[in-house]
Amino acid sequence: MTLAQLFLFIMLLQQKPDSLKAGFLQPPPAARPGVYWYFMDGNQSKTSMTADLESMKRAGIGNLVFLEVNVGVPRGKVDFLSEEWQELFAHAVHEAERLGIEITLGVGPGWSGSGGPWVTPNQSMQHLVASTTKVIGGSAGPVNLPIPEPRKPFFGEGGLTPVMKTQWKAFYEDVAVLAFPTPSAEHQIKDADEKALYYRAPFSSVKGVKPYLTPAITEGPAINKDQIIVLTDKLQKDGTLQWKVPPGNWTIMRFGSRNNGAVTRPAPFPGLGFEADKFDTVAMNAHLEAYTGKLLRKIGPRKTSGGGLRNLHMDSWEMGAQNWTAAFRQEFIKRRGYDPQPFYPVYLGQVVESTAISERFLWDLRQTSQELVLDFHVKHLKDYSHRNGFKLSIEPYDMNPTADLEQGALADIPMCEFWSKGYGYNTSFSCIEATSIGHINGSSVIAAEAFTAENNESWKQYPGSVKNQGDWAFAMGINRFFYHTFINQSLNDSLRPGMTMGPYGVHWDRGQTWWPMADAYHRYISRCQYILQQGRSVADILYLTPEGAPHVFRPPLSALTADEFLPDRRGYNFDGCSPGQLYKAGVKDKRIVFPGGATYRVLVLPASETMTIPLLKKIQSLVKEGALVVGMPPARTPGLTDYPNADGQLQAIAQNIKLQHVTYDSLYPTYDAITKLLDVKEDFSSTGAIRYTHRVTENRDIYFVSNRTDKAVQTENTFRTTLGAPELWDPLTGTTRMLPEFKTESGTTTIPLTFEPYQSFFIVFEKGKAAMAGKKNFIKTNIADTLEGAWQVSFDPKWGGPSKITFDQLQDWTTRPEEGIKYYSGTAIYRKQFPFAKNNQRYYLDLGEVKNLARVKLNGKDLGILWTAPWSVDITTALQKNNLLEIEVVNLWPNRLIGDAKLPDDGVKNGQWPAWLLEGKKRTSGRYTFTTYSPYKPDSPLLPSGLTGPVTIRASSF
């Protein structure tokens, strides 16, 4: 060894290992994606659970959400929460511990909410309801006051079992009786049912649902609060009122508490029950004891690290709203400082004093309801989770009666949901919300219920088809996918595609044709998630949401690109912030900073005329400390607390705050109006359709960049950093390399980048990293050979294809005359021998067009799986003078399902399993496939399948 070599060896020994690069190459378990693991109402076994979990492990799945539902599949033999069911759950937990897979348990049966058959009506979600009786003065006789009827459940009465319907109708508790002179004319509050929290429709799926509520001030007759008489103590048990009615026309309202009709949905039949009261910790404790407590006792001592039961989960809020609980009046008085009883008629849309006063009361009603949900439901559940060694994940959106950001800010792991583009609802707003929450809180993990789908998906999605949307989610700030859904495959493995969640969900389970190749895709996801879980996000703009509930954060459309379903952030990134989160903010170097590490250059206030005094004082302190705050001063407080004195105090404070004024065209100013105030360049810009996100660690700036188009593009990309020379980290291959071609100017670095369709990279700037000499960032290749002529192809006869056949040329399977190939679904192996003369170049095998995934072997060497562009693999070391090429190609299920649709239907009918399945007999229909749901018909269009090429060998210089 020479002296120079010895010196280099010593230097290498002294270098610290690069843990970030090591984790990128081989991501740790925490970086792996997850699935929603659904069980279909009693259809499960230890064997199927173990098989599912082992297949997840092989495919690179590291997390799961455990839920059981009843959606369009015949009931199984294992009753939910029976002793046998509990044993199976414990088995799943212990198997997950063995395999290193983390389990997240939903906090109730079904896919949303917290309730069950153990919830009694008096501990369920409740409404304040009333009956109205008109009387004329002078009568001394008893007045009969009918018992108020319950409000219709939002989702109808169909979800109530006969026993539950009886309980729903029977439960009633009197609250108050109020009488007042009948107003001279009818005068109602607009949208009173929504404002009083009787109903909150799903924001994602019902058109016209408001993201937030605003007062509607109208003139008209009103109830004089001072003339309201409380007659509660005069109500008899038989519903009669012993009261001598004064002269004039009077209205008597009998108020009482009723169950709101919210039930666990779509729970397994034995798990059907009322939703627990979200305003009451006693009710929540009873629920937790009956469900999670029982399961914790069954599974016994748990591992303290690795796999097993690790988290609890609140899924999307779909149980609607409540506006009453037994202690509501007392809580209201404690929190708002006045008695709500005189305003009870406002619940029903009656105007007390004026619409302005009544709307203020409704704001207080909703605010109190929000605080009770957050304090007695969400925080209580979070405390319970922590006491038991769990973290809590929350999807705080949809029918949420609270402000989404306020509820989500309490999560250990904020979550959102996004549906597969073209196969369901647009819930991208929930991803903006969850990432905003996570960035401000400094959450290392921001998760998503990913690629949810409706019945028109039906096995059409696969790794390649979801890549662009997945990259959109990464650029949005999400860094852990939970694919919706992996159905427990409780049927025999010969029955494929197998179990479904009725018609819902993308099929991300071991019943898929391509599941044996899914690990390559999941490695890509794991690498991306690992890097995106490091450091903190970089954003410049912080949008404050208005106070009040409910509220869905919607940034100005101008801050996003035009694609409504996949809206990408523009060059100056942003987050939304709830008032509750803002109280934790400070100012450093004129930037708004949070304890979790997030920093922003400007705070944008909403165009709201109302604000509470504490929030305005917080904004005042930020301005005094040097923060740039854009907005208009509020004119009044929103509620009746200390009204009207509070309005004067607010106005006095507002006059002494120096805000930056710009023109507002909606709740927020336009993106351009805000960015003109910033004294820095865009964080990222590109000459092409490239999305991005930016994270920063102690010594690195890390940008994720992704081609939004299905075309190859050459782009110039400018990054707001000069920390060091740029590197390209390719999450598809795990390789990293320096980029020699770049230029720096005025605090930015501009790099030419070439992207294949939907290709993505990490561009990493390491502090002090020196540039490397070189010519170009991307090598060019030329075609050295085209593999033309015949191919030997082998299909699996088990799925109807020929074991051996010769293709004279590459062609789509659906164009073949053989029905066994035309309707084939599964894997086929292409084989071809060819000679080749190598020289001192690097060689790549390019497959051309592939439907849908491929594994390449050359001369017996496995070169990996291809599932997205570039459809090429380095074959330099495997290439010989004489070669045997094998390409395993797998397509999707629809073609075989379409072919089978021509044969007699021997599947599930009228909610019953077929007799041959129950009796263990041989099928006689001739069908190859079996599934619990298929929309396909004999004339449904076939999907392109197979290897159509051209298959070429491309060469480049080293």
One domain for residues 251 and 303: no
CATH number at residue 835: 2.60.120.260
* For range 268-277, the mean pLDDT: 96
Q: Does residue 2 surpass a pLDDT of 70?
A: no
Q: Does residue 841 surpass a pLDDT of 90?
A: yes
* For range 56-72, the mean pLDDT: 96
**Residue 739 domain flag:** yes
Distance CA 204, CA 397 (A): 9
What does the pLDDT read at residue 305? 87
Residue 552, CA distances (Å) to 211, 427, 438, 577 in order? 5, 11, 16, 11
Question: Which residues, in sequence order, are CB contacts of 199 under 8 Å at separation 6+?
Answer: 151, 154, 193, 320, 321
Could you tell me the residue range of the domain that residue 765 belongs to?
Answer: 684-778
Summary mean pLDDT of the chain: 96
What does the pLDDT read at residue 773? 85
CB neighbours (10 Å) of residue 536?
Answer: 18
Of the candidates 340, 335, 378, 380, which has an alpha carbon nearest to the alpha carbon of residue 360? 340
What does the pLDDT read at residue 113? 87
Tens of pLDDT, residue by residue over 531-587, are 999 999 999 999 999 999 999 999 999 999 989 999 999 999 999 999 999 999 999
One domain for residues 388 and 529: yes
Q: Does residue 8 surpass a pLDDT of 50?
A: no
What does the pLDDT read at residue 11? 41
Band (pLDDT 50/70/90 cuts) for residue 14 is very low
What does the pLDDT read at residue 958? 58
Mapped onto helix, strand or coil, the DSSP state of residue 556 is coil
Of the candidates 624, 633, 631, which has an alpha carbon nearest to the alpha carbon of residue 661? 631
One domain for residues 146 and 171: yes
**Residue 7 domain flag:** no
**Residue predicted with more confidence, 134 or 5:** 134
One domain for residues 278 and 189: no
Per the omega criterion (within 30 degrees of 0), is the bond before 550 cis? yes
CATH number at residue 713: 2.60.40.1180
Residue that is last in its domain, among 739, 755, 778? 778
Band (pLDDT 50/70/90 cuts) for residue 7 is very low
One domain for residues 730 and 811: no
Q: Does residue 666 surpass a pLDDT of 80?
A: yes
**Residue 246 domain flag:** yes
Q: Does residue 15 surpass a pLDDT of 60?
A: no
Distance CA 91, CA 936 (A): 36
Q: Which two tokens stand for residue 59?
A: 């495919």
* For range 101-128, the mean pLDDT: 96
* For range 760-776, the mean pLDDT: 93
One domain for residues 521 and 442: yes
**Residue 577 domain flag:** no
Q: Does residue 10 surpass a pLDDT of 60?
A: no
Tens of pLDDT, residue by residue over 628-646, are 999 999 999 999 999 999 9
Distance CA 397, CA 142 (A): 48
Q: For the chain, how many structural domains are there in total?
A: 4
Of the candidates 198, 111, 115, which has an alpha carbon nearest to the alpha carbon of residue 160? 115
Question: Helix %, strand %, coil % for the chain, to 5?
Answer: 25, 25, 45
**Residue 951 domain flag:** yes
Distance CA 49, CA 21 (A): 35
One domain for residues 171 and 286: no
What does the pLDDT read at residue 505? 94
One domain for residues 228 and 143: yes
Tens of pLDDT, residue by residue over 912-957, are 999 999 999 999 999 999 999 999 999 999 999 999 999 999 999 7
Burial string for 33-48 (b: 16+ CB within 10 Å, else e) reads: bbbbbbbbbbbbeeeb
Distance CA 925, CA 936 (A): 17
* For range 369-382, the mean pLDDT: 98
The helix (run of H) or strand (run of E) holding residue 897 is helix 894-900
Do β-strands 591-593 and 497-498 pair in parallel, antiparallel, or remain unpaired? unpaired
**Residue 861 domain flag:** yes
Q: Which two tokens stand for residue 241?
A: 């009122």
Q: Which two tokens stand for residue 847?
A: 């497959």
Mapped onto helix, strand or coil, the DSSP state of residue 533 is coil
Distance CA 769, CA 276 (A): 57
Q: Does residue 895 surpass a pLDDT of 90?
A: yes
- In the DSSP assignment, the letter for residue 26 is S
Q: Does residue 6 surpass a pLDDT of 50?
A: no
Residue that is last in its domain, among 507, 534, 561? 534
Distance CA 254, CA 241 (A): 10
Q: Does residue 35 surpass a pLDDT of 50?
A: yes
* For range 325-329, the mean pLDDT: 98
Give strand pairing partners of 309. 103
One-letter amino acid of 463:
P
What does the pLDDT read at residue 16? 59
Instruction: Please tell me the pTM assigned to this model.
Output: 0.96
**Residue 576 domain flag:** no
One domain for residues 376 and 502: yes
Q: Which two tokens stand for residue 130?
A: 């009333």
- In the DSSP assignment, the letter for residue 548 is S
Q: Does residue 760 surpass a pLDDT of 90?
A: yes
Of the candidates 796, 903, 892, which has an alpha carbon nearest to the alpha carbon of residue 850? 892
One domain for residues 701 and 750: yes
Distance CA 555, CA 669 (A): 10
Distance CA 846, CA 848 (A): 6
- In the DSSP assignment, the letter for residue 306 is S
One domain for residues 138 and 78: no
Tens of pLDDT, residue by residue over 583-630, are 999 999 999 999 999 999 999 999 999 999 999 999 999 999 999 999
Is 285 within 8 Å of 330 (Cβ atoms)?
A: no
Q: Which two tokens stand for residue 291?
A: 């469900």
One domain for residues 469 and 509: yes
Of the candidates 49, 52, 33, which has an alpha carbon nearest to the alpha carbon of residue 102? 33
- In the DSSP assignment, the letter for residue 907 is S
Residue that is last in its domain, among 744, 778, 812? 778
* For range 681-709, the mean pLDDT: 98
Residue 432, CA distances (Å) to 478, 658, 671, 725 in order? 9, 29, 16, 31
* For range 811-837, the mean pLDDT: 98
CATH number at residue 382: 3.20.20.80
Q: Does residue 431 surpass a pLDDT of 50?
A: yes
* For range 513-542, the mean pLDDT: 98
**Residue 377 domain flag:** yes
pLDDT above 70 coverage of the chain, percent: 98
What does the pLDDT read at residue 562? 87
* For range 807-823, the mean pLDDT: 98
Band (pLDDT 50/70/90 cuts) for residue 4 is very low
Q: Which two tokens stand for residue 597?
A: 């590490």
Q: What are phi and psi of 34, to 5 degrees?
A: -125, 180
